[in-house]
Structure 1
Amino acid sequence: MPVERFGPYVVLEQLASGGMGRILLARSPGGRTVAVKTLLADSADDRRRFRREVRLAQRVRGIYTADVVAADPDAALPWMATEYIPAPSLRDLVERWGVLETGSLHWVAAGIAEALLSIHTAGLVHRDVKPSNVLLPVDGPRVIDFGISHGNDVTRTQTALGTVLYASPEQARAEPPDAASDVFSLGATLFHLAVGRAPYRDGGAGSALEQLVRTAGGDLDLAGLPAELEPLVLPCLELDPSARPTPEQVLVHCQQWLARRPDARGGEDWLPPDWVRAIERHRAQRMRTVLEAERRAKPDDVTRPVQPPQPTSRLTAPAPGSDRAGRRRRVLLAGGGAAVFLAVATLMVLRPWTAEAGKPDGPVRILPVESKSPGMCPTDSPSGRFWQSDDRQICVVTSDDGEDLTVERFTAVRAYPDTDPGMSGWAVDVTFQETDRAAFTKLTALVAGRTGPHDELAFVTDSGRLLTAPRIMEKITGSTVKIAYRLKENEARFLAKALGAPS
């Protein structure tokens, strides 16, 4: 490969190549894996478009999009590094494993709608929402590729862009697209997930010109759409842009439907088993590719000794890879008389501690998150900043700016059946000592409202273990904090014991 480094990123492998550029797998100095997009063509117009793509993509932040981590559009070979998402696209999953049923489709639709909210809030229109531009990890879809997006502050051209099979009629007519055009493409993508083809007559058969004419005229063929999905999909496919719902309205509709299964928490519960297995296989294969590429990139590295495993314990908690292990959880923080919502990014406590009541067998540190990536932390990563989940699926790097809290003992830790209105299952809460509570409040005020993952606090131990990395939505002032809910009894007892509850 002629270019081995882009800025600080060392290239490991090529992932894809097209007419305009390439996608490369690369590694940061700290060991984070990223996807680097480069520009192959080198005309002034190509550079201008790439520079614009970088500028627009940097404006979008959201849990259901891929964040830009660095870029240099003015380099000799322009490049942009984004979060690496080792997941298959919706197009690949439908082609291999078939269409989705109603519940699964509502869950996917909610994630895409939330991504569009992030995009539109940034003042952008994506203009190319389609099955191949939505990746699907188990924790929720990611909308990618802002190559033809435009912003409200960018001069608009009267050019029909986007994949015609999923474009809105106004796009095909070269009219200026807006947020409603993205909603139409969302509806077309959902139709594909439900039926297995695009919503236009003949499903894309014929020449590109024929399909452009069909799209421009709104020549839809909606046969095969299940009746229970019509209230979700058909409004998005209205030919009149003003009649289409907003992403917020799509999200509200999906949330009302998903509320029928209050115990379901993510892809493991909502997606078909074949899809879940395919997603996990894809992720595992991609991470093996990363490790193999890293070995090739560092062939002369000295082999390092591996720490011996901890003694085996008989657990009642779920094992790695089970239906509930490593699942993204929502938690409710109760403090200062007000309920504050906080989303847990990962909960990876897989080995119980022997502990006195309220006291873990080692200090629990709470630190602001600087970055995170899937898979193993680098073997040569410095201690004190890199933290590994017990199932080896998440590596978190924490900030070294001195802002942290070390908890030697909680005043109380308990697991209990949750009786709060609208709740079910078991919950866990902890009570901070007063001095720790003040420090925790200060930390939550520091990170609340930041863009992800900088709005997360990592709960870690000095052995390098990552316990959890919750997102902080707002400053928390109470001393007693409900950190998890809607758990099974064994999950709740397991987490509580790890934090120091009596056996």
Structure 2
Amino acid sequence: MRWGGAETVRPGQRVGRFTVLAELASGGMGRVYLARSPAGRTVALKTLITNNADDRRRFAREVACAQRVRGVYTASVVDADPTAQVPWMAQEYVPAPSLKELVEDCGTLGPDALHWVAAGMAEALASLHSAGLVHRDIKPSNVLLPVEGPRVIDFGISQAHDLTRTQSALGTVAYASPEQARGEPTTEASDVFSLGATLYYLAVGRPPYLDIEEISALELLMRAATGETDVSGLPSVLDALVLPCLDLNPRARPTPAELIAHCAGHLGDGPAARSDGSVLDARWTAAIERHRAERTDALRDALRQVGTTGPTARSGRTEADEPTQAMAEPAGTAHLPGPPATAASGRSRRVRLTVSGLAAAGMLAGTLLVLSPWDGSGDGGGTGAAGAPDRPVRFLEVEREQPGACPGSGTSEAATFATSQPGVPSGRGFTSDDRQQCVIASTAPGMTVTRFRQVSAFEDTEDGGPGGWSVRVAFESKDAKAFTALTAKVTGRVAPTDSLAIVQGEDRLLAKVTVIGRITGGEAVIATRLGRNEAHFLANVLGAPS
């Protein structure tokens, strides 16, 4: 069996002691499979399919973190080998929908049910924190809900206290604590804020920010960093549970133990006495049971298929013919669990999983500044291919910015602003195609790209993502190293010098992106919240075929 590139493990093949039954979810950095042990235990098997040192260290840390957690409200680790040629981890398989799926399909939760879910999530946090861990990515899609109670999953960006870094705004911004959004050290209290934001979502149907569908990713990040929440619509009976969790002061937030006690007081008999899900709305219970039945049927089908073909190959520590190669797909974090992928659903799942992986690599929030008249006729699907831009593309450090076209760019708008704006040194001013933004680059050399390994336009449907269409680029290996160094250089600076200008020619600004953390892996989303044609246009400019 050959491991590497974008190849998957086929049903019937073995990883460690587990026989793979079907693929559950896929991202650029890893895949998750439904698998079974020789004794018949069903697990969710996560494999790492990139082959760079940073990803291997991150995966090993995830395994170590997950192995330290013991609690009824988390998905436990069954077995793992992070040192294998293809690292893997087997976790308890929980055939249940996420809180995000349930809200989208069934509507919001009532007060009793919400207190019951809150108690289970708080107990999961207590288990994590007692193990010396901070989850750092609590959100509705990372909490599964079987009728027995919630399960917190995905420790991909969890860190031990002594490993917590500054200047890293990881996690999904819509549920991140203010200190996390600012890149400050995260603590147990940061998880409590994210718990509160998740509970607000369950009660109201949206994250605790106003107009989240319309604002840009950068605007959302700024609101999160300043704690500019909007908690209108929260039923008053939930104020005492939710609002203290969202306190701007981490020290003022309740502990998980205090939340458990509060929920027990509300529920009377206590959360443990409601372990059959009886407090849930009938719509939620029906959806959970339907999900379980569908997963059970899928498991039976997968077992029949594997029983027909039998095991075809094995990977131990691993028995691979070749080392795993880095994929051309975007870096992402695979979520546990998901539906067995058909040819169509697998493609959809990959699109949904890609954006969250930016958090694991260091977040890059972008605002598009190229707004030419668009007349592309995209077919509604993502586009992506390797190619050379029509002209070399430069990534330059930003010194300052000002509204309107840059002085000297030969337009009447530029002439108007020339008298009221500071002068722009020759060769350092770049104007957006809509003439609304002038960015002045610093004298630092930056980097020049003559060819990308891949350019893709994709529709962003990930939970907490900015929405609309986005454009991603993947660099050739030599440029990837330069890009990592460049993003590390600007990280932590005062705005707008914490940004990169993406330019062509002498004065054309394609995009300006704010860098919030060192980007590794050789990929970056450089524009978000576009229309379909806008995204296709920009991708074509950067080298994707028309």
The TM-score, its normalising length taken from structure 1, stands at 0.58
**Equivalent residue for 1:185?**
194
**Equivalent residue for 1:150?**
159
What amino acid is aligned across from residue 294 of structure 2 in structure 1?
Q
Q: Tell me if the contact between 2:119 and 2:271 (Cα under 8 Å) persists in the aligned partners.
A: no
**Equivalent residue for 2:211?**
202
Paired residues for 1:423-502 under 5 Å: none
1:165 aligned counterpart, secondary structure: helix
What amino acid is aligned across from residue 87 of structure 1 in structure 2?
A
Distance in 2 separating the partners of 1:210 and 1:226: 27
**Equivalent residue for 1:67?**
76
Question: In the alignment, does 2:154 pair up with 1:126?
Answer: no
What amino acid is aligned across from residue 101 of structure 1 in structure 2?
G
Deviations 1:449-478 (A, max 9, x none): xxxxxxxxxxxxxxxxxxxxxxxxxxxxxx
**Equivalent residue for 2:249?**
240
Would the alpha carbon gap of residues 68 and 204 (structure 1) be closer, same or farther in structure 2, given more than 3 Å must change?
Answer: farther
What amino acid is aligned across from residue 250 of structure 1 in structure 2?
L
Q: Tell me if the contact between 1:35 and 1:82 (Cα under 8 Å) persists in the aligned partners.
A: yes
Instruction: Tell me whether 153-162 or 69-78 shows the greater mean CA deviation.
Output: 153-162
For residue 259 of structure 2, the aligned residue among 238, 250, 270 is 250
Paired residues for 1:39-438 under 5 Å: 39-154=48-163, 156-203=165-212, 205-259=214-268, 265-299=274-308
Distance in 2 separating the partners of 1:176 and 1:205: 29
Distance in 1 separating the partners of 2:147 and 2:9: 35
Cα deviation, residue 154, structure 1: 2.6
Would the alpha carbon gap of residues 213 and 156 (structure 1) be closer, same or farther in structure 2, given more than 3 Å must change?
Answer: same
Would the alpha carbon gap of residues 204 and 129 (structure 1) be closer, same or farther in structure 2, given more than 3 Å must change?
Answer: farther
Q: Tell me if the contact between 2:200 and 2:208 (Cα under 8 Å) persists in the aligned partners.
A: yes
Q: Tell me if the contact between 1:13 and 1:25 (Cα under 8 Å) persists in the aligned partners.
A: yes
What amino acid is aligned across from residue 126 of structure 2 in structure 1?
L
Cα deviation, residue 263, structure 1: 11
Deviations 1:225-266 (A, max 9, x none): 000000000000001101100000000000001116899633
What amino acid is aligned across from residue 177 of structure 1 in structure 2?
T
Question: In the alignment, does 2:41 pair up with 1:32?
Answer: yes
Q: Tell me if the contact between 1:36 and 1:80 (Cα under 8 Å) persists in the aligned partners.
A: yes
Deviations 1:332-361 (A, max 9, x none): xxxxxxxxxxxxxxxxxxxxxxxxxxxxxx
Runs of 5+ consecutive residues of structure 1 not aligned to the other structure: 302-503
Q: How many residues align?
A: 301
Deviations 1:171-218 (A, max 9, x none): 000000000000000000000000000002223532211111110011
What amino acid is aligned across from residue 104 of structure 1 in structure 2?
A
Would the alpha carbon gap of residues 205 and 291 (structure 1) be closer, same or farther in structure 2, given more than 3 Å must change?
Answer: same
Runs of 5+ consecutive residues of structure 2 not aligned to the other structure: 1-7, 311-546
Cα deviation, residue 155, structure 1: 5.3
1:55 aligned counterpart, secondary structure: helix
Distance in 2 separating the partners of 1:263 and 1:52: 32
Distance in 2 separating the partners of 1:212 and 1:288: 42
Deviations 1:139-163 (A, max 9, x none): 0000000000010233534210000
Q: Tell me if the contact between 2:161 and 2:187 (Cα under 8 Å) persists in the aligned partners.
A: no
Q: Tell me if the contact between 1:198 and 1:204 (Cα under 8 Å) persists in the aligned partners.
A: no
Deviations 1:385-422 (A, max 9, x none): xxxxxxxxxxxxxxxxxxxxxxxxxxxxxxxxxxxxxx
Cα deviation, residue 300, structure 1: 6.1
Distance in 2 separating the partners of 1:109 and 1:155: 25
The TM-score, its normalising length taken from structure 2, stands at 0.54
What amino acid is aligned across from residue 139 of structure 1 in structure 2?
E
1:288 aligned counterpart, secondary structure: helix
2:94 aligned counterpart, secondary structure: coil
Distance in 2 separating the partners of 1:89 and 1:111: 14
Distance in 2 separating the partners of 1:203 and 1:186: 18
1:77 aligned counterpart, secondary structure: coil
Distance in 2 separating the partners of 1:147 and 1:9: 22
Would the alpha carbon gap of residues 32 and 241 (structure 1) be closer, same or farther in structure 2, given more than 3 Å must change?
Answer: same
Would the alpha carbon gap of residues 242 and 263 (structure 1) be closer, same or farther in structure 2, given more than 3 Å must change?
Answer: closer
What amino acid is aligned across from residue 111 of structure 2 in structure 1?
T
What amino acid is aligned across from residue 65 of structure 1 in structure 2?
T
**Equivalent residue for 1:404?**
none
Distance in 1 separating the partners of 2:270 and 2:129: 29
Q: Tell me if the contact between 2:264 and 2:270 (Cα under 8 Å) persists in the aligned partners.
A: no
Would the alpha carbon gap of residues 262 and 85 (structure 1) be closer, same or farther in structure 2, given more than 3 Å must change?
Answer: closer
- Alpha carbon RMSD of aligned pairs, Å? 1.6
Q: Percent identity?
A: 62
Q: Tell me if the contact between 2:176 and 2:224 (Cα under 8 Å) persists in the aligned partners.
A: yes
Cα deviation, residue 267, structure 1: 4.3
Question: In the alignment, does 2:42 pair up with 1:9?
Answer: no
1:278 aligned counterpart, secondary structure: helix
Distance in 1 separating the partners of 2:214 and 2:85: 41
Would the alpha carbon gap of residues 155 and 172 (structure 1) be closer, same or farther in structure 2, given more than 3 Å must change?
Answer: closer
Q: Tell me if the contact between 1:201 and 1:214 (Cα under 8 Å) persists in the aligned partners.
A: no
Instruction: Tell me whether 145-154 or 58-67 shows the greater mean CA deviation.
Output: 145-154
Distance in 2 separating the partners of 1:129 and 1:107: 17
2:47 aligned counterpart, secondary structure: strand
Instruction: Tell me whether 197-206 or 187-196 shows the greater mean CA deviation.
Output: 197-206
